[in-house]
Amino acid sequence: MRKVASFAMMLAFVSGSAFAADLPVKALQAPPAPTFDPWDVAFGGALMNDYVFRGITQSNHQPSVAAYFEPRYNINKDLQLYVGSSTESISFANRAAAEVDIYGGIRPTFGAFALDFGVWGYLYPGGSCADNVLTGGIPGGNVCPVSTDTIFLANGNVMKKDVSFYEVYGKANYTVTDNWQFGVTEFYTPSFLNSGAWGNYASVTGKYTAPSTTFGKSGIGMYVSGEFGRQWLGTSDSFYGVNSPLGNFSAGIPYASYNTWNVGIGFTYKTFTLDFRYSGTDLSKGDCNAFTSAFNASGTANVTAINPGGAGSNWCGAAGIVKLSADLTAMSNLK
């Protein structure tokens, strides 16, 4: 009986297996491959208590607002093309009240290296002559006595009506770990601020990003970053020339090259960043005045070879900057 029972169980098992093999089997569907959309757009804005560019205020140490828009095309995951435009409110001696930037370039990546090459145009619409009006609260004086492209200020400074210029640039950033990044930058222009003087800016940068768990599950991030750079400058055209007791520079003044630095701490939450930063340069007040043509420069004690009048400007001095910004991308934030 035991042999019969064992044989019956084996027969049932074989029959059941054969029956199961005859059943239609539904094939598992592979998930659809994700589609690659090469297009993206980055955009955002900022509010800051001072707009500082390479250590020099562009807004007379007053608040400034900014916005940008940057379409991007990703050829692949390691190569991106981009164009963009940004606008910042400023306060220049020629009464230009806005800086409009137009730029474009290419961003290749090679493992931990991220590169960026492009051209950046700085446009300053609205520049004009003094024409007996207040410029930054300072009386303008004469009605452009030399040229309609000139602005003369009460403190003796002059500035061209059009100071627009462009730079070619290259950047390299190396990500050491998820927390540490280091980089270098290089910018060159044949005529900085349309002064006739060539300009070359190079800097080194560093950034430490705190672990995402630093503030628990709050979603708040933190970083510390800094930059040290040097701005080399050539000789201006004769428009800015002076005949100084320390030298005849009527054909153009040799602008003083200078070092600049900034260091700060920032906090991020979703698309927002709050950045606290200290910025400074080693430019003297006299050479700063010669370079910026500041409308509120004053005094007579800051005499240099290129600043014989002695007026001094604090536009190149130490500054504390607080900036609140929002940065979004269409692919990440608008889905």
d(CA 256, CA 249): 13
How is residue 80 written in tokens? 């991106």
Given this model, what pLDDT does residue 232 score? Answer: 98
What pLDDT score does 32 carry?
66
For residue 136, the model assigns a pLDDT of 40
Q: How far apart are CA 272 and CA 206, in angstroms?
A: 21
The number of angstroms, rounded, from the C-alpha of 307 to the middle of its chain's C-alpha atoms is 30
Does residue 257 lie in a domain region?
yes
Domain count for the chain? 1
Query: What's the average pLDDT block by block, 10 residues per block, for the chain (335 residues)?
Result: 46 43 52 77 98 98 98 97 98 93 98 98 85 40 41 73 95 98 98 97 98 95 98 94 88 97 98 98 97 93 94 96 96 76
Q: Which residues pair with 328 in a beta bridge?
A: 43
Total Cβ atoms within 10 A of residue 11: 10
- What does the pLDDT look like over 62-96, one tens digit per residue? 999 999 999 999 999 999 999 999 999 999 988 89
Closest to 293 in 3D by CA, of 194, 172, 177, 188: 194
The whole-number pLDDT of residue 12 equals 44
Question: Residue type for 65, please?
Answer: V
**Is position 66 within any domain?**
no
Considering the entire predicted model, what is its pTM? 0.84
Q: Residue 203: which domain range?
A: 110-115+128-333
With respect to residue 30, please indicate whether it lies within any of the assigned structural domains.
Answer: no
Residue 91 within any structural domain of the chain? no
The predicted-structure confidence for 251-270, as pLDDT tens digits, reads as follows 999 999 999 999 999 999 99
| DSSP state letter for 82 | E
Distance, in Å, from the CA atom of 277 to the CA atom of 226, rounded to the nearest integer, reads 9
Q: Are 195 and 237 in contact (CB under 8 A)?
A: yes
pLDDT of residue 327: 97
For residue 161, the model assigns a pLDDT of 85
- Asked whether residue 183 is assigned to any structural domain, the reply reads yes
For 109, the token pair is 């990546």
Chain centroid offset of residue 86 CA:
10
Does residue 80 fall inside a structural domain?
A: no
Given this model, what pLDDT does residue 78 score? 97
Tell me what pLDDT residue 333 has.
Answer: 81
What letter does residue 215 receive in the DSSP assignment? Answer: T
Assigned domain for 244 exists: yes
What's the confidence (pLDDT) of residue 27? 54
Residue 149, domain member (yes or no): yes
